[in-house]
Every structure is written in structure tokens, then in C-alpha cells.
Amino acid sequence: MTKADDRRLPLDGLKVLELGQLIAGPFATKLLGEFGADVIKVEPPHSGDPLRRWRMIEDGTSLWWHVQTRNKRSVSLDLRSHEGQDLVRQLVAEADVLVENFRPGTLEGWGLGWEALSALNPGLIMVRVSGYGQTGPYRDKPGFGVIGEAMGGLRYLTGQPGEPSVRVGVSIGDSLSALYAVIGTLLALQERARSGQGQVVDIALYESVFAMMESLLPEYDASGEIRQPSGSALPGITPSNAYRTRSGDYVLIAGNGDSIFKRLMQVIDRQDLANDPKLAHNDGRAREAKRIDDAIEAWTLQHERDDILAQLDSVRVPAGYPYTAADIARDPHYLAREMIQSITRPNGKPLKVPGVLPKLSATPGRLGDGGPALGQHTDEVLDELGIDAETREKLRQAGII
């Protein structure tokens, strides 16, 4: 637990219902839960969210689960049954926000679409995350994050020139969509505070990626230029690249500010480049990117990584190296900023997990416990709805919960 557990949190009193699975929708609700929202996660009985069995498993549960579902209550509920759908309606009647990431039309097929639910609760905010959005010719196509990354333009740019594109090593399309879902939720809550009315927040995976693509589209529109993959370099911004060291690993150096470039050239003993008027500003340096990168790497190849970083730190040139998980876990800055936290799993073992973001000075978020067991809170939540123990047992026997 964190210091914030005995403090008022920004979203205290907000009730969020999560219908969905895997990454984008549940990541959004995780963020809301970290800042005080009461998140009720609905999962299929017996099987649960597939994320429970993704990647590394210990004691039958994914280690990822303990990050993605912290600060949530798990209710096992069959959404395909009429009884389950009726229970969702009762939950919606008391909810502020519903987050779902089914394929468009799925909830409508169960009688749980926007028109039906907003009639029950006019103040409901319905956050809908899907591959292609709720409208348009592609709305009914299945879409995962990697497809959104491809359609959004990111996949084409990722990799070395002339080689097949590669994916980012994490589900970045889903995670970006989750962030936009949270932004949309907070905006809709602000509007509801004024008007009293809820609304739909429509998030598409491909759009969340496309929104990050900087000048990709205007450059094409203005000049027909199609931005190409560039490996570790940042085209048009020089120097910013990865450079080999004497021991064969890499350092990343970002010397693209005008004064930073001069200091970098002085460190590598290239006064000729530092004083070249054609290289005084970025546009001139971009035209000479290979010449500058070659000069920098000729220097880095003579030194070990730590020596390079020490020399560049001393003259305030931004530099680093690609961190592994091991580097992150022992880094003193991560530790000082409390970005490496520890929880205790149900088996009693400790587990390091990422800290909470963003950092708020007066009302910081909470770490909470790891992810709940499947249906751990079903009786608790249904009791809050006024459903008695006898009725719950009948629903359990029928496989509804």
C-alpha cells in the first residue's frame, strides 16, 4: 500500500463498470482505480479474462494480471444470459462510467447498447474502445492493437530501412487507446458536472496511434513525402541516434539542440564541426546527418559506455542506453521516484510492480493489492444491489455467476 491509502483520492465516489478483457479497456479502468474509482470488473464465469493466462504464469495466474487489475473488484457474470444482462442493467443504474472493449454491436445484441443503458441512467458515461471505432466502413472488423499500430502508421516506420517492419515490444496501440479513454472519461465527467448528461466516448485503436504520428500527414500532403523507417535515427533532427561503443554495446545521444551540439562536438574533439556555420542550426545539420553521425561514432568506438555517459553528463549532453528490466529494477532514480513498488501476492511472495502515474502532490494515486481472484467480489457487489443470498445461490447453480 502507498501513503495515499489514508488520503482523499481525486476519483473517490466514482463507480466504474468494466465490461471487456485483455488490454485497452482494462488498462483504462486500472488508471481510474488507482485514483480512487470503485472499479467493478465483470468476467465470464469459470474462464475469466484471458489476460489471466497471458505471458508468464505463476500459481495459475499471469504476473501481468497483478498490474493490470489492481484496485478492482471481480464479479463473475454470464453476459450472454438474460439474467446476467439484467444484473448488468442493475449495475449500470448505479454506475457513473461504463468501459467496454467488445466489437461494435456486441452489447447491442445483448440489449446493452447506449440507447438502452442511457435510458436507465441519463448521466452514464459510456467509454467504447474498439479497433476501428463505432462508425465507418471498418467498424465490424476485428481489431487488435498490432493492427491499429499498422493502420495508424507506426508499424511502417518501425525498423531498419529496407527490412521488414517490426513491432514495438509492448502493446503500445492498446496502451495509447487506454490513455485516450481516460482523457475522454475525465472530459465527459467535466461536462456532466455542468449539464447532468452523460455521453459516449468513442476510442479507436488505429486513431490513438495515428494521433501520435507527428508531422507524418502534413508532410505527405504538402510535398508527397512518405516518411520511411530509419532504424535508430530520428530523420530531420540531428544528431539523435544510437552509436556503438568500444565494448560493442550502444549509447543513445541526443545532441540536436544548437548549443548542445556545440558542446558535444567539443567533447569529441571536432571543433571544425562545432564552428561550421552550416551546422549551427538543425536544418543544416539534418542535411549532413551521416557526416555528423560518423564523427560521433568514431569517438564512441574508442570508449566504454560508462565513460561516454560520464563525459557527456559533465557537459549536459543528453545521453543514455537501452535499459533492460534488470537495469530498471536497480536504477537509483527509479527507486528514488518510487516507480518500483512491491506488493504481496496471494501466495505470500513479494512482487515488484510499476508505481502509479501521474504523480499528484496533494492527492497521489494508490498502489493497492494485486489483481483479484475470479469472482472474488461477486457476492459483495450483488449484495450491494440488494440481491439476497438465496437468489445468489440460485444464480450460481444456474451458472449465471
Cβ neighbours around 260 below 10 Å, total: 18
Cβ neighbours around 366 below 10 Å, total: 20
- For every residue of 212-239, DSSP letters joined together read T-TTHHHHHHHH-------TT--TTSSS
- Choosing from 49, 78, 96, 174, which is the catalytic residue? 174
Identify which of 358, 336, 343 has the alpha carbon closest to the alpha carbon of residue 2: 343
Cα–Cα distance measured from residue 61 to residue 54, given in angstroms and rounded to the nearest whole number: 8
Could you say which DSSP state residue 48 is in?
A: -
Amino acid at 374: L
Cβ neighbours around 27 below 10 Å, total: 24
Cα–Cα distance measured from residue 155 to residue 146, given in angstroms and rounded to the nearest whole number: 8
Is 174 considered catalytic here?
A: yes
Q: Where are the alpha helices (DSSP H) in 6-162?
A: 24-34, 65-68, 82-93, 106-109, 114-120, 145-151, 154-157
- Residues marked active site are found at 174
